Structure 1
Amino acid sequence: MTDQEPQPPFRLAYVPGATPAKWVGIWRERLPHVPLDLVAVPAAEAPAVLLAGGAEAGIVRLPVDRTALSAIPLYTEATVVVVPKDHVVSAVDEVAVADLADEVVLHPMDDVLPWERPPGRPALERPATTEDAIELVAAGIGLLVVPQSLARLHHRRDLVYRPVVDAPGSDVALSWPEDRHTDLVEQFIGIVRGRTVNSTRGRPQQQPPSPREQSAEGRPRRSASGAPSGRSGGAKGGAKGSTKGGARGASGTAKRGTSAKPGARGTGRKPRGRS
């Protein structure tokens, strides 16, 4: 008998700043027989990776093409401004977009915020990546407005960040190809939505039976006496047992009724005669 082929992994793409570790941990508890592989992708490339089959699902930043991809919004991320530690902004708890009007604000090519018009004064050149922009902030070239997770991802000791209260947020979603909504995708949807392991739609898949279990399925079941059990034999034995048991139980009840203690009320006492 040949060994069973290994289960192919469930591939989960995720964009910079996304932290799927909690959901991955739950997956590995519920479906230990299905490996889960994480695939790091740039935010702008995540939809193409999903459509090309590079991952079964992904933690992405909206918007995505909803005609080809399904998406479940997970949360909206706060927006912050990254500044040098000695910048005046570091002395306040939060700022507004208008407070950055006179500042040079870097706008990297991989910016994920849905600006109608970026704040501040534009730099002479746009950095290629957010990571490059962080280096320019540290060099005193300008400031950077990004989702909070990206500020944490590229944290430096010489930089700080503060919330920008009226800036647009970044919507993070679980997404997958519309035409490939598989059982495993549904399992991951249940995990991110907080379904319990006993939920109908969030129930983990059954592990395939072992060769020993498969061979045992074809054998007839045996009763406690060792004889094969069947429908006709089981019904006959059940009827016979119930008849004998019923008669024995009835006689036992009658005997108990006649052995009542003196003075106790019951059917065993003779009725008192009239005086």
Structure 2
Amino acid sequence: MSRPSPFRVGFVTGATPDKWARAWRERRREPLDLVPLLESEQEHGVRDGDLDMALVRLPVDRDNLHCIGLYAEVPVVIAGAEHFVAVADTVALADLADEQLVRPHASGWRPDAEQLDWPPMSEKDAIETVAAGTGIVIVPMSIARLHQRKDIVQRPVTDLDPTQIALIWLLDRDAEDTQAFVGVVRGRSANSSR
């Protein structure tokens, strides 16, 4: 008897698929492959059929996709440990108006200060740049926790909307296994129906 093909679910950095993967593996015979994704490529694997579903950070182009919002992520500013934000509990965008942003924020917010032309960089590279004492970066808290270091601080930004993690899949990919995974992320028991 041949082993069933794996069900493939992509996930962006900071997304947390582990509890859903455990529930899937307890309930299903077919294996589950979790595939790390870059945020810049989060839709591609689903659209080209390489992935069955993906945990993505919104916004995405929802054309021809199912999309279920799962949870919100608090935006945080990351700065060097000696930066003025280290003494605050939270920060507003106005507090950051004169700062150098080393990586664009998804919201499009930019400080008032003249910005250097930074090359594109990953979250990890941006945090390393900030740790070296240059500028700030704003990322979801999950990313900040993933790259936590002793030479940086993170503080919630009170006037930025949270980012959203969502589950996406193609409209025409609505098979039983897809609905089973939707059930897992929605907390349905193994015996409940849709």
TM class by shorter chain equals over 0.9
The letter of the residue matching 1:54 is D
Task: Confirm whether residue 9 of structure 1 aligns to residue 6 of structure 2.
Answer: yes
Shift, 1:196, TM fit: 1.4
Q: In 1, distance between residues paired with 2:111 and 2:98?
A: 9
8 Å CA contact 1:78–1:170 kept in 2: the answer is: yes
Counterpart of 2:43 in structure 1 is 47
Where do 1:113-128 residues align within 5 Å?
113-115=106-108, 117-121=109-113, 122-128=115-121
Task: Confirm whether residue 28 of structure 1 aligns to residue 20 of structure 2.
Answer: no
What residue ranges of structure 1 are gaps of 5+ in the alignment?
202-275
Change (3 A) 1:120 1:133: farther
- What secondary structure does 1:50 align onto? helix
Q: Normalised by the size of structure 2, how large is the TM-score?
A: 0.94
Q: In 2, distance between residues paired with 1:158 and 1:142?
A: 13
Aligned match for 2:162, one of 149, 169, 181? 169
Change (3 A) 1:68 1:163: same
8 Å CA contact 2:76–2:156 kept in 1: the answer is: yes
- What secondary structure does 1:142 align onto? coil
Counterpart of 1:133 in structure 2 is 126
- What secondary structure does 1:26 align onto? helix
Counterpart of 2:58 in structure 1 is 62
Counterpart of 2:175 in structure 1 is 182
Q: In 2, distance between residues paired with 1:120 and 1:94?
A: 20
- What secondary structure does 1:58 align onto? strand
**RMSD across aligned C-alpha pairs, in angstroms?**
1.4
Q: Normalised by the size of structure 1, how large is the TM-score?
A: 0.67
Q: In 2, distance between residues paired with 1:178 and 1:148?
A: 31
Q: Write out per-residue CA displacement over residues 96-153 of structure 1, whole angstroms, 9 at most, x where no aligned residue.
A: 0000011112225xx5x222x3235323324422221111101111011111111112
The letter of the residue matching 2:43 is P
Q: In 2, distance between residues paired with 1:176 and 1:68?
A: 9
Q: Which has the higher helix share?
A: 1
The letter of the residue matching 1:22 is K
Residues paired across the two proteins, number: 193
Max Rg structure:
1
Counterpart of 1:96 in structure 2 is 92
Counterpart of 1:142 in structure 2 is 135
Q: Once the two structures are aligned, what percentage of the paired residues are identical?
A: 45
- What secondary structure does 1:186 align onto? helix
8 Å CA contact 2:103–2:121 kept in 1: the answer is: no
Q: In 1, distance between residues paired with 2:112 and 2:17?
A: 33
Counterpart of 1:107 in structure 2 is 103
Which aligned runs of 4 or more in structure 1 are off by greater than 6 angstroms? Answer: none
